[in-house]
Structure 1
Amino acid sequence: MTFIPRDNPSKFTLQGSNTYLVGSGPRRFLIDTGEGGRKAWTEALEKVLREEGVRAIEGVLLTHWHPDHVGGVGDVRGVCRRVFGGGGEEVEVEVFKNQSRPGQKGERGIVDGQVFRTADDDDDDGGTTLRAFYCPGHAVDHMAFVLEEEGAVFTGDNVLGHGTAVFEDLAAYMRSLEGMVGLFGRGAKADSAAGRAYPGHGEVIEDGKEKVREYIAHRKEREGQILDALKGLATGSAGRTAGQDDGGSDGQRSSSSMDVVKVVYKDYPENLWVPAEGGVVQVLRKLEGEGRVRLVENGNWKLAEGEKSSL
């Protein structure tokens, strides 16, 4: 496996978008393509393909739709044309993505559990096997890929090499993390790499299973903090900025998501409160789906009947 970093560092992409050329024989898979138009990356990919004697990219596997992962598909086709196309003629490159995009040339769908494999007579390792795992949350189409020969997992943006991931659906994200725990180390032939996580951004994680468990614990801790804040706001014990008395018959004050942010993130700089509010809303929606909180008419939040007993 060859790591090919993208030269697109930012506060959203960390040091840049990670891309991986997977396999050791003449036919390889490429996982993600980063942003488009990055000359240093296309030169690095071309150099690796030539130096390692790669004859074809078996397929480009995309973890999810975000531009910093799919934007370089056209660049890959250009590199393949130069490296494999002889006189520069077009070379077919198959691209695979869950919920494939209409009108995208050569793009095919991916289903949960789908297996991708290369096997070449001159591949000493007997080929490379990748198994897709559907894990929405960060994005609705998110896929991870298990490298069966190592028991390692390409985690995309569900698990990062630094910090925590953002998500668009917390309930789905938590279910995905729970499912990902069991992916690491399965069928591993190379003990040194068993359980390793190759993230979409950041450094390689040696113990992927433990990192996923840390993510789950962190999210549950934050969920508990938000629920406790809502309880304190409901009774006024969270301070004088506590929730609003909206005249309800249940004697419970309602609270806005920003009210909750000001309690949970009170020790953080105020300029971080607005970005934090999106995550708080995601937690509140998850709790609403579980019947633990409810959204009231003024757009604020209250505890559901089952949670009021703990006030």
Structure 2
Amino acid sequence: MTAEQITPYAARVLAANPGPMTLDGTNTWILRAPDSDRAVVVDPGPLLEEHLRAVLDAVEAAGATVETVLLTHNHFDHSEGAAWFANQANCPVRAVDPAYRIPTDHAHGLAEGDVIGAGDLRIEVLPTPGHTLDSVCFWLPQDGSLLTGDTVLGRGTSVVAYPDGALGPYLESLESLRAFANSPAGVARLLPGHGPVIDDPSGVLTYYLDHRRERLDQVRAAVAAGHTTPEAVVENVYADVDKKLWPAAERSVRAQLEYLNS
């Protein structure tokens, strides 16, 4: 369980929590400008002490200390270890959801336009609600990297986690991210919360949008055919998907039905 340097500004430590929803495990990101003694940790991950100590060890091995912890959203596979980690690193936790902030004041929130600095490192906050309503992405302008949490995964597609998530905001977030990826800012890669690095940001975001719209059309057709409950829609629309994923698919279907009925 060692840190893998992905870009000059970003290293990854993979948590040992693989599964259908977490893919290979949670990617904990250590962000640090080259030769800087100050780092930022994004999504410490689950409360697995071996993993959290590996992240601390990686920061220490780089000759740095943790300036702050940032959370992309509140799901436990990203946030559960944050309080333990922050206590060990003696640093704050910044999150959209006040329940996860340390200390719990407004100054440790995350909002559009916020910029987090650590030495020469610059991190810009991009709100991207949809997977959850508190989801955010982090843009590293010096590096060309965009950290996406669960808004965009490194493999497959993400779930709209109803009732906390909502399809309308998610589609808007994907559109916003695609426009940003195609802008002069020049997004070189996406660093997701699970799975491998994405080197074709615009292409993957277009695929996500197309996939969501295709699924929405399928749900609309299933309802028209008389499949009116979320369970019935899942059986009809997701028949080709492993049944282990049906509970997650049902959450997305509930979000899709709410969207269609709004």
Tell me the TM-score range normalised by the shorter chain: 0.7 to 0.9
Q: Does 1:76 align with 2:85?
A: yes
Larger Rg: 1
Aligned equivalents of 1:35 and 1:269: distance in 2?
A: 25
Q: Does 1:95 align with 2:104?
A: no
Q: What residue is the counterpart of 2:204 in the other structure?
A: 211
Deviations 1:129-151 (A, max 9, x none): 11001111111111110111122
Q: What residue is the counterpart of 1:50 in the other structure?
A: 60
TM-score using structure 2 length = 0.83
Q: What residue is the counterpart of 2:234 in the other structure?
A: 261
Cα 1:224–1:147 shift into 2, 3 Å = same
Structure 2 unaligned residues grouped into runs of 5+: 1-9
Q: Is the 1:153–1:184 contact (alpha carbons within 8 Å) kept by the matching residues of 2?
A: no
Q: What residue is the counterpart of 1:29 in the other structure?
A: 40
Q: How many residue pairs get matched?
A: 245
Which aligned pairs between 1:234-253 and structure 2 lie closer than 5 A? 243=226
Cα 1:94–1:78 shift into 2, 3 Å = closer
Q: What residue is the counterpart of 1:62 in the other structure?
A: 71
Secondary structure at 2:180's aligned position in 1? coil
> Which of 261, 271, 277 is the matching residue for 2:250?
277
Cα 1:266–1:70 shift into 2, 3 Å = closer
Aligned equivalents of 2:59 and 2:75: distance in 1?
A: 25
Q: Is the 2:238–2:246 contact (alpha carbons within 8 Å) kept by the matching residues of 1?
A: yes
Q: Is the 2:168–2:259 contact (alpha carbons within 8 Å) kept by the matching residues of 1?
A: yes
Q: Is the 2:13–2:54 contact (alpha carbons within 8 Å) kept by the matching residues of 1?
A: yes
Aligned equivalents of 1:269 and 1:154: distance in 2?
A: 28
Aligned equivalents of 1:268 and 1:73: distance in 2?
A: 33
Q: Is the 1:64–1:70 contact (alpha carbons within 8 Å) kept by the matching residues of 2?
A: yes
Cα 1:265–1:150 shift into 2, 3 Å = same
Cα 1:10–1:284 shift into 2, 3 Å = same
Secondary structure at 2:257's aligned position in 1? helix
Deviations 1:101-145 (A, max 9, x none): 2784366111112111223xxxxxxx1111001111111111110
Q: Is the 1:151–1:183 contact (alpha carbons within 8 Å) kept by the matching residues of 2?
A: no
Q: Is the 2:40–2:68 contact (alpha carbons within 8 Å) kept by the matching residues of 1?
A: yes
Q: What residue is the counterpart of 1:179 in the other structure?
A: 176
TM-score using structure 1 length = 0.71
Moved more, 23-32 or 213-222: 23-32
Which aligned pairs between 1:118-267 and structure 2 lie closer than 5 A? 118-119=118-119, 127-167=120-160, 168-184=165-181, 194-231=187-224, 233=225, 243=226, 255-267=228-240
> Which of 3, 8, 27 is the matching residue for 2:17?
8
Secondary structure at 1:101's aligned position in 2? helix
Q: Is the 1:61–1:96 contact (alpha carbons within 8 Å) kept by the matching residues of 2?
A: yes
Deviations 1:256-287 (A, max 9, x none): 34443343234557776565333222212111
For the aligned residue pairs, the C-alpha RMSD in angstroms reads 2.5
Q: Is the 1:157–1:201 contact (alpha carbons within 8 Å) kept by the matching residues of 2?
A: yes
Deviations 1:34-88 (A, max 9, x none): 011331x13322332222111x2121111111111111123323542xxxxxxxx
Cα 1:273–1:48 shift into 2, 3 Å = closer
Q: Relative CO higher for 1 or 2, CA cutoff 8 Å, sep ≥ 6?
A: 2
Q: Is the 1:94–1:106 contact (alpha carbons within 8 Å) kept by the matching residues of 2?
A: no
Aligned equivalents of 1:103 and 1:147: distance in 2?
A: 22
Q: Does 1:19 align with 2:28?
A: yes
User: In percent, how many aligned pairs have the same letter?
Assistant: 31
Aligned equivalents of 2:15 and 2:244: distance in 1?
A: 29
Cα 1:267–1:170 shift into 2, 3 Å = same
Q: Which amino acid aligns with 2:56?
A: E
